[in-house]
Structure 1
Amino acid sequence: MDLYQCVLVVPFPAQGHVMPLIKLAYNLAYHGIDVMFANCELVEAKILAAMSDADKEQFPIRLVTYSDGMESQPADQRSGQGLRNSLSKVMPGNIENLIKQINHSDNREPITCVIADLTLGWTLEVASKMGLKQVAVWPAGPACLALSLHIPKLISTGVIDETGSPVKNELIRLSNEVPVFGSSELMWSSPDNPTAQKFLFDISQDVIKATENGSIVLCNTFLELDSSSCALIPNILPIGPLPAIKHLNPSIGTFSPQDSTCLNWLDKQPSNSVIYIAFGSTAKFIQKQFNEVALGLELSGHSFLWVIRSNIVNGSSPEYPDGFLERTASLGKIVEWAPQEKVLAHTSISCFFSHCGWNSTIDGLCFGVPFLCWPYFYDQLQNKNYIRDMWKVGLSLEHDEDGMISRHEIKTKIDSLLTDEGIKRNALKLMEDAKKSVNEGGSSYENFESLIKYLKA
């Protein structure tokens, strides 16, 4: 296939950002675009370590690296406000130098467009300065981008202060069709951690200027899923769900090796019988809360596939309740990281116990799987509201008076979810809508075709 143009794709260096952009890059490559994918060195090392040799041989994207300015910092400290500050300082110059290096190399098409994470607006400014096309990518749902764009008005009307903290205890309505945001559910809210709130609020504000520059804003959604929020965002181009676009290996782009033995285990389970539990790449629990999750799953009596990262309990390995592993040996399978899309597509899966990150939300919707929602931070809070109230494809868990999600709450909600035929019907309906959107003639199919034409022009 002839290569027409060369684009540089630049994600924010975090798992939830890299994954959707690498899926986008993969599909661009399939459509004849020469794609170079830029990561900081630490992220590239993780991606390559998690890929099989076969994946590396067939990988249609060229990986390139830049310095994030934090090479001297331990890996577990290269996140949050420190990473953002370093990126904003060193990344513009490093990306400009990378583009010049690529464009001056032999036997390579020159970079004609930069496709960058919307949270890295300074990268799009570099592209503009160099006379290149710019395309932004928003890696979360459109409602949360619409809220970010609404921040100046929220400040001017006294709803929030300059730090993002609520001044008024009132519901925030962006339009009559968009679910309201509670003052405690603003995606940057973290009243017990001012440092985290500053980071999340700064990230939310970063996207405002980047959106105002007139670039196309790609979003991993489809118009029929949330047309009301999309209507509030200038130049948005919904091109998802990316997992449903063909010719894609869903294992590429993860930071951790996927344990595919769980697929063989699922093959041995009855249809619609297994609870899939995965809380993403960043959520952490205290040991007491972890115990309640384990005992709630046991109490439910259902088979389960549970993804447990080695750092899920206060940054270290969890300790299981006494006898839990022995008592649930015939019911459960535990892995450190799973091939999520293949798991959710499996006929044995009955529901998705999720943190409601946008990538996981889209994955679940693509395969018609009901949700049990336990959001952790940022956009996950609003995603839960959509899942539960707008789309009616799931239920959420409630904290008790001690701030815990109890084992009994988990068992009760699992029982309710698995016997709710209305939720299952709604989930299957959205799955069909998602498929239609990416098939020929669908809204996302047409939008993706228009993107390809823009890049090749």
Structure 2
Amino acid sequence: MFANCHPGPILVRNKYEIIYPLHYKCDSSSAHATQVHNSPNRSHRHQFTTSTTIHPRDASKHRGERETKTKHMGSLGGAAAGEKPHAVCLPYPAQGHITPMLNVAKLLHARGFDVTFVNTEYNHARLVRTHAAAAVSGDVVVPGFRFATIPDGLPPSDDDDVTQDIPSLCRSTKESCLGPFRRLLARLNDDAAATGHPPVTCIVSDVVMGFSMDAAKELGLPYVQLWTASSISYLGYRHYRLLMERGLAPLKDVNQLTNGYLDTAVEDVPGLRNMRIRDFPSFIRTTNPDEYMVGYVIEVTERCAGASAIIVNSFADLEGDAIAGMEALGLPKVYALGPLPLLSREDPPTPRSSISLGLWKEDASCLRWLDGKEAGSVVYVNFGSITVMTNEQLVEFAWGLANSGRQFLWIIRRDLVKGDTAVLPPEFVAETAGRGLMASWCQQQEVLDHPAVGAFLTHSGWNSTLESLAAGVPVISWPFFADQQTNCRYQCNEWGVGIEIDSNVRRDAVAGLIDEVMDGEKGKEMRRKAEEWRLKTIEAAKPGGPSRRNFEDLVRHVLLAKN
């Protein structure tokens, strides 16, 4: 954490597969991520469970109070007698992918599955450093939930505490991880009798880790893929081919990035509305017809057709048209289980609730600081786990916050400034003394749930988007890359909860948009819409709600199909 009274500039700064028993304690926050392009609620904190009907942003309640006491997530019902299912969960090794997969893993474990959660060795080492020994061996033991690791195939990094280069990580996992994953599955099955864990009965894999489909097919296992981004962005990736067929991509020259060409309307995009070229996921903004990430995302999204089922972290009221559009492309059944953090919460908490896979140490002082602030008075700023910017952009955001006159909580990762150390001028520190707090990471959902938070300055990653909707907090969006452009378009134009900052960020624009969202007429309408969406997230995740029904259908009809 960085004190706002600092007197000077602020400096923000093949192997074997290993299996670990689970001993985890802390909670986690996240933000969605993929690759680099230039250009993480309110009334009180909540503990959602699979059967909770409350939301903390009800201002009539004290923080942490529950409207409904509910039972734990259901036990296994449907497996053959004496047979216990065992799910291997394989996330893509970035924070914004790990967190939703962990939510799925918790749901399955609560449903009676043994779970093996597979991290890369690089991320496992980060978890150990972040959470100390409790990351792999602590006092709280969760029987039937353990971790394993596989190598990611990348050479050792000079900096072992940052998100790895995304294109390199995509290429490496695709080309080198199938063998280690096969060996891990074989070891889990060979050791089943000795360890007391059942053999593997199903695999739940991130779409981006699609190599694992081969291993599942070899073993004849149900194979479910989790798409961790928005359904609208999935369609955006799948329709890259449409852009190329119409001659809209790749770009003819780099001037098309800035001369207004990206504002060209793209009509008749199945499953999507009111799209421009700039609203498609950002990898398409290239002049290179052989751009690796373009071909890569087309390949992994098209390969989903071979899965047993697809999970999306969404719900029908939010993305029903896009989910239908996914199935219309020939995919298997798409199960909307969102918002996953709400669906997987337990009330009262269990040892499973405390499992955390945050790659950065969360600063608990953020919540204490918010406790002393008036309702709706704080701007929360977090650009997620992968977004990077120049130091000049950082300074523009800083002076925008300063000039707005608002109180703010700003999460500044050590690696937020690309290739450099983040430096905030001492004049900014002096100007904002007493009304700003800066930290390196936080419990984002709990921060957004705090009544003091009135607006969220965000990169519009999908986890952050859902968390802000679940909290009823309007957003000021600065999309950075990948799906964030698509999410921003829908936040601002379809869902009515967002307003966008130009990629060429300027302090006056930042201050003006903050004022508009906090006090302006547009801001009032955004808050009204945000509250409507908050209530819809509750309806989706409550007992008997569509996300809960979809999860039960997924378990019965897909994951237990072989049992």
Q: Same fold (TM over 0.5)?
A: yes
Q: Secondary structure at the match of 2:232?
A: helix
One of 161, 173, 196 as aligned partner of 1:87: 173
| 8 A contact 2:174–2:211 mirrored in 1 | yes
Deviation at 1:436, TM superposition (A): 0.6
- Out of 115, 126, 145, the residue aligned to residue 46 of structure 1 is 126
- Residue 183 of structure 1, CA deviation: 1.9
Please show how residues 253-272 of structure 1 align to structure 2 within 5 Å: 253-272=357-376
Taking the TM superposition and a 5 Å limit, the aligned residue runs for 1:396-411 are: 396-399=500-503, 404-411=504-511
Map of 1:357 onto structure 2: 461
Deviations 1:143-179, CA, capped at 9 Å, x for gaps: 1111222334443444435999999974334557623
Decide whether aligned partners of structure 1 residues 50 and 59 sit closer, same or farther in structure 2, where only a CA change above 3 A counts: farther
Matched AA of 2:140 = Q
d(CA) in 1 for partners of 2:248 and 2:312? 28
Aligned to 1:110: 199
Q: Does 1:431 align with 2:517?
A: no
Cross-structure match for 1:291? 395
> Are positions 1:187 and 2:281 aligned together?
yes
Matches within 5 A, 1:211-226: 211-226=304-319
Distance 1:126 1:163 in 2: 41
Looking at structure 2, the residues matched to 206 and 102 of structure 1 have their Cα atoms a distance apart, in angstroms, of 29
Deviation at 1:59, TM superposition (A): 6.0
Q: Retained in 2: the 8 A contact 1:119–1:203?
A: no
Is the 2:460–2:487 contact (alpha carbons within 8 Å) kept by the matching residues of 1? yes
Q: Is the 8 A contact 2:250 2:285 kept in 1?
A: no
Structure 1, 387-396 or 170-179: larger mean CA deviation:
170-179
Is the Cα contact below 8 Å between 1:291 and 1:320 reproduced in 2?
A: yes
| 3-state SS of 2:416 partner | coil
Q: Secondary structure of the equivalent of 1:304?
A: strand
How far has the Cα of 1:30 moved from its partner? 1.6
5 Å-filtered alignment, 1:164-179, equals 170-173=264-267, 175=269, 178-179=272-273
Q: Which residue of 2 aligns with 1:145?
A: 234
Superposition RMSD in Å: 2.7
Taking the aligned partners of 2:295 and 2:353, their CA distance within structure 1 comes to 34
Q: 1:188: Cα distance to partner?
A: 3.5
Task: Name the residue aligned to 2:484.
Answer: 380
SS in 2 for 1:231: helix
Deviations 1:177-224 (A, max 9, x none): 6233322333133647969x9343133213233212143110111111
CA contact (8 A) 2:249 2:284 kept: no
Q: For residue 84 of structure 1, what is the amino acid of its counterpart? A: C
Name the amino acid aligned to 1:11: P
Contact 1:4 1:456 in 2 (8 A): no
Structure 2 unaligned blocks of 5 or more: 1-74, 77-82, 328-332, 347-351
CA contact (8 A) 2:250 2:287 kept: no
| Equivalent residue number for residue 11 of structure 2 | none
Q: Kindly indicate whether residue 107 of structure 2 is the aligned counterpart of residue 27 of structure 1.
A: yes
SS in 1 for 2:325: coil
- CA contact 1:284–1:315 (8 Å) conserved in 2: no
Q: Is the 8 A contact 1:163 1:198 kept in 2?
A: no
Gaps of 5+ in 1: none
Alpha carbons of structure 1 residues 451 and 57: separation in structure 2 relative to 1, 3 Å? farther
C-alpha displacement of 1:28: 1.5
- 1:8 deviation in Å? 0.5
Letter in 2 for 1:147: G
Q: Which of 285, 291, 302 is 1:209 aligned to?
A: 302
Q: 1:70 aligns with which of 122, 141, 154?
A: 154
Aligned-residue offset at 1:236: 1.3
Is 1:371–2:464 an aligned residue pair? no
Scaled by the length of structure 2, the TM-score of the pair is 0.75
Which digits, 9 at most, give the CA deviation of each residue in 1:87-144, with x for residues without a partner? 1222111111110000000222111111111112111222112211100000100011
Q: In 1, Cα distance between the equivalents of 2:383 and 2:168? A: 24
Indicate the residue corresponding to 2:96 in structure 1: 16
TM-superposed CA distance for 1:78, in Å, is 4.2
Deviates more, 1:305-314 or 1:250-259: 250-259
Are 1:243 and 2:341 matched, yes or no?
yes
C-alpha separation in 2, matches of 1:25 and 1:389? 34
Q: Distance in 2 between matches of 1:177 and 1:136?
A: 20
Alignment of 1:301-312 (within 5 A): 301-312=405-416
8 Å Cα contact 2:250/2:286 also seen in 1: no
Counterpart CA distance in 2 for 1:406 and 1:262 is 27
Q: Percent identity?
A: 27
- CA pair 193-361 structure 1, distance change in 2 beyond 3 A: farther
Say if 1:372 and 1:397, in contact at 8 Å, map to a contact too.
yes
Q: Which amino acid aligns with 1:219?
A: V
* Cα displacement string for residues 7-45 of structure 1 (whole angstroms, at most 9, x for unaligned residues): 111111111111111121122112211111111101112
Deviation at 1:452, TM superposition (A): 2.3
Change beyond 3 A, Cα 1:268–1:253? same
**Residues 87, 113 of structure 2: 8 Å contact kept:** yes
The match for 2:32 is none
Q: How many residues align?
A: 452
SS for the counterpart of 2:381 is strand
Change (3 A) 1:83 1:214: closer
Give SS of 1:447's match: helix
Q: TM-score, normalised by structure 1?
A: 0.92
Report the Cα offset of residue 322 of structure 1.
3.1
Aligned amino acid, residue 428 of structure 2? F
Higher RCO (C-alpha 8 Å, min separation 6): 2
Which one-letter code corresponds to 2:427 in the other structure? G
Preserved contact between residue 143 and residue 178 of structure 1 (Cα < 8 Å):
yes
Q: How far is the alpha carbon of 1:52 from its aligned partner?
A: 6.8
Shift of 1:456: 3.0
Q: Distance in 2 between matches of 1:396 and 1:28?
A: 37
Contact kept? 2:205, 2:212, Cα under 8 Å: yes
Whole-angstrom CA distance in 1 between matches of 2:495 and 2:298: 28
Question: Which shows bigger deviation, 386-395 or 214-223?
Answer: 214-223
| Aligned amino acid, residue 28 of structure 1 | L
Paired residues of 1:164 and 1:201 also in contact (CA < 8 A): no
